[in-house]
């Protein structure tokens, strides 16, 4: 058990978000997006940001109750309405050289009783409207980060049967541990962690596998890799050279698969929370990169809607490797939140590939990026496929196959 008090850990967490997450530099404005429940944390984040030399910190508040009110009561034909000022605010921050921090916390079942058409429509409108900003974000124009914090609806889902106060404090404890905020010097702990991930990334980049082969119960998949692909992990740098960590926590090493060279079947190992609905126990069958059939025990409609969002939504845009022994996996919990669950298991993502996963990708236009195998889509949704039964092989340029992971763990 950690000896630090809750207040100290909360302060550590806020400092981590500023110093390691966004890596805020003196003179940089900060925009925070957060649920109202996270006000105590956001106040500490704001303090840490001003102490780091920010001239202006602003917060855009929202929460689940506000989202739900719209779905429950707004006119059914009004779901294309969108606040353009919201996009302007994000672009203003990017253009003035500022940074963005998001505190992501939502009840995974929030929209379970809502019309999937409307849920898909709001996702699509949001993605379409914010695309100019997302482009800047994906091209590393600015430093940004996503963290999380417990809210009652979400904590109840993770610890059902516990009294509400215990649900919240248990979830806080886990988050502090997996984010290393329980450590006396969390910044030093993160620096060591980042160095470790970088070593793994560099090894994979040197290998330049032409394909990865996955096998596990319900999974037999060959996933081609683009030429000159780049693996990434942990810390990144903006085009201007500011180091930042997009996700806290992070355990993954990831790249982009070739959008036309994925064949076989893959089975999910954790439920996917998408747009406030759960998709569970699903399989995707790929032919030449495209999903040709799906099955799902739960949320098949939602999954099909997701795949139909656009042409790229039925192809892969991310391949990520995470050992089964990761601290998040060891917590034994299902978080119903990609920020945590994606760091518990090897995963893939449907939809958009990150340009920076191919050498020179950020300078390519859409056609050029597609020609080298990069997928484009409005969406990007991670789903977990890793388990302690998963083996992964790498295929080298000379066609040689070598073991990469066995039983969910790195071979070397």
Chain residues binding Zn ion by CB under 5 A are 252, 318, 320, 342, 349, 382
In the complex, the smallest distance separating the C-beta of residue 64 from Zn ion, rounded to whole angstroms, is 23
Is the Cβ–Cβ distance between 400 and 224 less than 8 Å? no
Compare residues 306 and 320 and give the one whose CB is closer to Zn ion.
320
User: Could you tell me if 189 and 173 are in contact, meaning their C-beta atoms sit under 8 angstroms apart?
Assistant: no
Nearest 5°: phi and psi at 145?
A: -155, 155
| Contact between 9 and 176 (Cβ < 8 Å) | yes
CA dist., res. 48 & res. 31, Å (int): 13
Write the burial class of residue 50 (CB in 10 Å: 0-12 exposed, 13-18 middle, 19+ buried): middle
Query: CA–CA separation, 222 vs 257, rounded Å?
Result: 10
We find the least distance from the C-beta atom of residue 212 to Zn ion, in angstroms, to be 15
Least CB distance from residue 50 to Zn ion, whole Å?
32
φ, ψ for residue 310, nearest 5 deg:
-160, 180
The angle at the Cα of 136, spanning 130 to 142, to the nearest 5 degrees, equals 120
Q: Which is nearer to Zn ion, 218 or 246 (CB)?
A: 246
Q: How far is the CB of 108 from Zn ion (least distance, A)?
A: 17
Q: Running DSSP on this structure, what letter comes out for residue 352? A: P
Output the smallest distance, CB 226 to Zn ion, in A.
Answer: 17
Looking at the Cβ atoms of 146 and 168, the one nearer to Zn ion is 146
Cα gap 382→318, rounded to integer Å: 8
**In this complex, which beta carbon is closest to Zn ion, that of residue 90 or of residue 233?**
233
Nearest to 123 by CA among 290, 305, 340: 305
Q: Which is nearer to Zn ion, 9 or 193 (CB)?
A: 193
Q: Closer to Zn ion at the Cβ: 13 or 354? A: 354
Q: Shortest approach of Zn ion to residue 220 CB, angstroms?
A: 22
Shortest Å distance, C-beta 272 to Zn ion: 12
How many contiguous H segments (helices) and E segments (strands) does the chain have? 13, 20
Between residues 79 and 214, which has the closer beta carbon with respect to Zn ion?
214
């Amino acid at each position: 058990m950690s000896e630090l008090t809750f207040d100290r850990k909360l302060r550590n967490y806020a400092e981590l978000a500023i110093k390691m997450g966004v890596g805020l530099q003196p003179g940089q404005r900060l925009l925070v997006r957060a649920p109202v429940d996270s006000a105590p944390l956001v106040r500490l984040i704001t303090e840490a940001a001003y102490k780091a030399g920010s001239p202006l910190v602003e917060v855009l508040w929202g929460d689940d109750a506000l989202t739900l009110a719209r779905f429950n009561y707004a006119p059914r034909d009004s779901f294309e309405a969108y606040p353009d000022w919201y996009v302007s605010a994000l672009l203003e921050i990017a253009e003035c050289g500022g940074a963005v921090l998001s505190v992501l916390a939502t009840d995974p079942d929030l929209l379970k009783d809502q019309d999937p058409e409307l849920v898909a429509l709001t996702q699509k409108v949001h993605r379409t409207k914010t695309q100019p900003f997302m482009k800047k974000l994906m091209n590393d124009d600015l430093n940004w980060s996503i963290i999380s914090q417990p809210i009652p609806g979400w904590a109840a889902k993770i610890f059902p049967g516990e009294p509400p106060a215990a649900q919240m404090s248990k979830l806080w404890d886990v988050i502090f541990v997996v984010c290393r905020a329980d450590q006396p010097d969390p910044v030093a702990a993160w620096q060591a962690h980042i160095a470790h991930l970088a070593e793994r990334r560099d090894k994979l980049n040197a290998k330049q596998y032409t394909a990865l082969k996955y096998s596990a119960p319900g999974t037999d998949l060959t996933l081609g890799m683009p030429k000159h692909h780049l693996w990434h992990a942990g810390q990144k740098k903006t085009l201007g050279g500011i180091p930042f960590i997009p996700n806290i926590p992070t355990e993954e090493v990831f790249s982009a698969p070739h959008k036309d060279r994925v064949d076989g079947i893959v089975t999910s190992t954790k439920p996917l929370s998408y747009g406030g609905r759960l998709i569970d126990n699903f399989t995707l069958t790929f032919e030449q990169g495209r999903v040709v059939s799906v099955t799902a025990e739960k949320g098949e409609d939602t999954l099909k809607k997701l795949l139909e969002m656009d042409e790229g939504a039925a192809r892969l845009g991310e391949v990520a490797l995470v050992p089964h022994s990761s601290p998040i996996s060891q917590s034994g919990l299902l978080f119903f939140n990609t920020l945590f669950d994606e760091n518990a298991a090897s995963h893939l993502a449907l939809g958009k590939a990150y340009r920076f996963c191919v050498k020179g990708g950020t300078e390519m236009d859409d056609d050029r990026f597609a020609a080298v195998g990069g997928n484009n889509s409005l969406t990007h949704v991670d789903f977990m496929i890793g388990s302690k039964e998963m083996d992964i092989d790498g295929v080298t340029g000379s066609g040689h196959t070598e073991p990469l992971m066995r039983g969910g763990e790195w071979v070397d």
